[in-house]
Structures are given as structure tokens and as C-alpha cells.
Structure 1
Amino acid sequence: MPRKRTPDAHDRILDAAGGLFDRYGVHAVGMQQIIDDLGCGKQLLYREFASKDKLVVAYLERCTQDWDRTFARALAAAATPEEQLVEVVRAVQTMVPGTRGCSLRNTHAEFPDPEHPAHQVSLEHFKAVREQLRELARRTSAADPDRLGDRIMLIIDGVYASGATLGATGTAEEAVALARDVIRIETSLPVAESEIPADVR
């Protein structure tokens, strides 16, 4: 009779593998390196994940769950859909691991074969995120909410790309300001007095 999956071992393996994948990239990390880093036996690793592909897919699925939680927190942090879009951009800085940017984007680039499960999981994630942002934008007064959603996604992409090289905090501040500008233009919102520089009031 096959042994049942052990949730604690499953999560510990994902923690170890995820840290290595985020630091070095998926292709650069072998199963033996994960075993050595975790200090577990090969039998345990392969009992929880029968292949590296299955481990990578589980890693990506965990990343998508992290995004969903971050998105939900951003929605809860603001009262209006316009401000919720801004909060989503602000929240992205917390999801830039190490110096390599977005785990899902990096893995998507490492697996260009459209038939590979890692490629499929990451691509489906990006489609879902795009629809999340578009749906949120549809709650605003934007004349073209889908365009607004797509522009916010481009800003988020920029945070991941530039945050990895320039630092997430400073990049996020500029990204938030840019998001506000884009939303204001797309929805024709007036500029709040607090956002006008004192020397031009």
C-alpha cells in the first residue's frame, strides 16, 4: 500500500525548493541540491513529488495562491475600485523575491514549450491576473476599463522587472504614482489638492 502524503514534509520540501528556485532559477537547481538543502532522504522527496516537473508545478501553484492572497489584501485596503487598483500596485513590492523578480515570469521564460506544464500554469496565471485587473477596472468610471486594466498590469510588470535591479521599495513608490496618473487620465478624476506640489497650488 502506498504511503500517504505528509503535509508537513510536502510544505517543507516546497519551502526549500522555492527558495532555491527563486535564488537560482528552476533549471539551475537539481533534485539532489534540494535534498541536500533540506537534509531529507531521496525517498521522501520522490514520495511527495514523483518528478521535478511535478515539484515545479506545485511551486508555481503556490506562487499563484500567494498572488491571490496579496490581491485580496489590496482590495480590502481601499474603499473604491480606483484606490484598490493603486493598492494592488503597491502590494506587488512584497512579492519580489530576492533579486530575480517574479517567480512565475521567470519560470515562464525558462519553459518556452507551450506543452510543458510549467509553461501552462504560469500562462494561465497571467491570463487570470489580467482578467482580475480588468474586472476591477470595470467597476471604475473608465471609458475603456479593459485598457485601464492592461495598463495597470504593465505597471506591475515594471515593478517586477525594475524592482529586481533597482530595489522594490523605490520602484514601487514610482509605480504607485504612475498608477494614480494612469487611473486619473482613464477615469478623468480630478487631482486631489494633497497631491499638488505646494509651489504650484
Structure 2
Amino acid sequence: MTRRPAPGTRQRILKTAARLFGERGARAVGMQEVVEETGLGKSVLYREFSSKDDLVAAWVRELDAETWSHMDQALAPYEGDPARQLLKVVEFAQASVQAPGFYGCTFYNTSAEFRDPAHPGRQEAVAHLDQLRRRLRDLALAARATDADALADMLMLIISGLYANAATLGSSGPAGRATAAARILIDQHIAPAHQVGRERERDSC
């Protein structure tokens, strides 16, 4: 009879993999190292994840769900004010690079490490970034931006630049200006009549 893994085994593996992959990159970490770090047998690891590619994809997928959950919470106070929510997306990204042990955006890092379009980890990463772009566009449309596609894409570039700069030059370098740059773009693309919520917030500070 095949033994069932103890409850929490899968999460234990994912938590360990997340730490190792985040610190050194997914390609640099072998499955044997994950086995040793978790203290689990190799058979247990492969029972939960059929391959390293499977483990990388599960890691990225879990971070995807966690990221959207946290972002939704961050945007919730600004429901009905899509212009302010656009800025909050950038603020959310800027806050994330301030976290201890920030090694770069997992989604961009993974897509760079695994360049084969068929790699499951890359597919998960690209799916997340595609969804971010769509959400920015939807918010820009809701805010009646003069060119929603252009605004969404430029904000996407600010976010990607923010992650790249923070990972190399630190969060207090050029990355520290991301929110200010986003505010300028949003103001340029959204008519003052639809900036009421953000103006009110500034006045109350």
C-alpha cells in the first residue's frame, strides 16, 4: 500500500522551493537540494511533483494567486475610483520591492530563466504578466483614459523598470520614482473630471 504524505507536505516543499528559488534562481537549484532542505525523501518529493518543471510551475502559480489576493485587498478601498486604483497598482509594486530579501520579480525572473515558450514555469509567469496588463487596461478604460491601451502599456513598463532597478540598484534608486512617474502618466491620460477621487485624497493628506 502506498503511504500517503503527511498533511502539509506539499506546502512544506513549496515553501522551501520558494526560498531557494528566490535566493538563487530556479535553474540553479536541483531537486536533491530541495529534498535535503525539506528533510523529506526523494520519493515523497516526486510523489507531489513529477519533475522540477512541475515544481517551478506550482511555485509560480501559487505566487500568482497570492499576488492577486494581496492586490485585490490593496485596491478594495478605492472601489469606484479606477484612476486611483491604477496608481495603487504601481504603489503596490513599489511597496513589494521594499520587502527584505527582494531578489527581483519572480514572474520576470522566471520568464528570463526559462526561455522555452513551452516550459510550464514560463507559461505561468507570462500568464500572470498578461493578466496584469489586462487589468491595467480595464482600469484605464473604466477611468475613461484618452488611450487606455497606451496608458496600460506605459504603466506596465514603469512596473517592469521598477522591478529591474530595485533588484540591481536598490529600492531607493530610480525605483523610488516609479509612483511619481505613474502619477504624471495617469494625469496626462485621464481628464480632470475623472480624477476627483485622487484629488480629494491629496487634499486630505
| Aligned counterparts of 1:100 and 1:88: Cα–Cα separation in 2 | 20
1:12 maps onto 2:12 in alignment: yes
Deviations along 1:1-59, one digit per CA (max 9) or x if unpaired, are: 55556551111110100111011011100011112222222222111112111101100
| Aligned counterparts of 1:78 and 1:114: Cα–Cα separation in 2 | 36
Count how many residue pairs are aligned between Structure 1 and Structure 2: 196
1:1-201 correspondence to structure 2 within 5 Å:
2-4=2-4, 6-79=6-79, 80-96=81-97, 98-168=101-171, 173-189=176-192
Contact conserved, 1:81 with 1:137, CA < 8 A, in 2? yes
* Structure 2 residue matching 1:77: 3-state secondary structure: helix
* Structure 2 residue matching 1:129: 3-state secondary structure: helix
Contact conserved, 1:77 with 1:87, CA < 8 A, in 2? no
What amino acid maps onto 2:169 in structure 1?
Answer: L
What amino acid maps onto 1:25 in structure 2?
Answer: G
Distance of aligned partners of 1:49 and 1:100 in 2 relative to their CA distance in 1, 3 Å threshold: same
What amino acid maps onto 1:111 in structure 2?
Answer: F
| Aligned counterparts of 1:77 and 1:171: Cα–Cα separation in 2 | 28
* Structure 1 residue matching 2:46: 3-state secondary structure: helix
Alpha-carbon shift at residue 71 of structure 1 (Å): 2.2
| Aligned counterparts of 1:26 and 1:10: Cα–Cα separation in 2 | 18
- In the alignment, structure 2 segments of 5+ residues that lack a partner are none
| Aligned counterparts of 1:166 and 1:136: Cα–Cα separation in 2 | 30
Contact conserved, 1:141 with 1:187, CA < 8 A, in 2? yes
- In the alignment, structure 1 segments of 5+ residues that lack a partner are 196-201
| Aligned counterparts of 1:31 and 1:188: Cα–Cα separation in 2 | 53
| Aligned counterparts of 1:179 and 1:185: Cα–Cα separation in 2 | 10
* Structure 2 residue matching 1:27: 3-state secondary structure: helix
| Aligned counterparts of 2:173 and 2:191: Cα–Cα separation in 1 | 27
Alpha-carbon shift at residue 141 of structure 1 (Å): 2.5
TM-score, normalising length: structure 1: 0.86
Contact conserved, 2:60 with 2:125, CA < 8 A, in 1? yes
The CA RMSD measured in Å over matched residues stands at 2.5
Contact conserved, 2:165 with 2:173, CA < 8 A, in 1? no
| Aligned counterparts of 1:156 and 1:69: Cα–Cα separation in 2 | 18
Could you tell which deviates more after superposition, 161-170 or 129-138?
A: 161-170
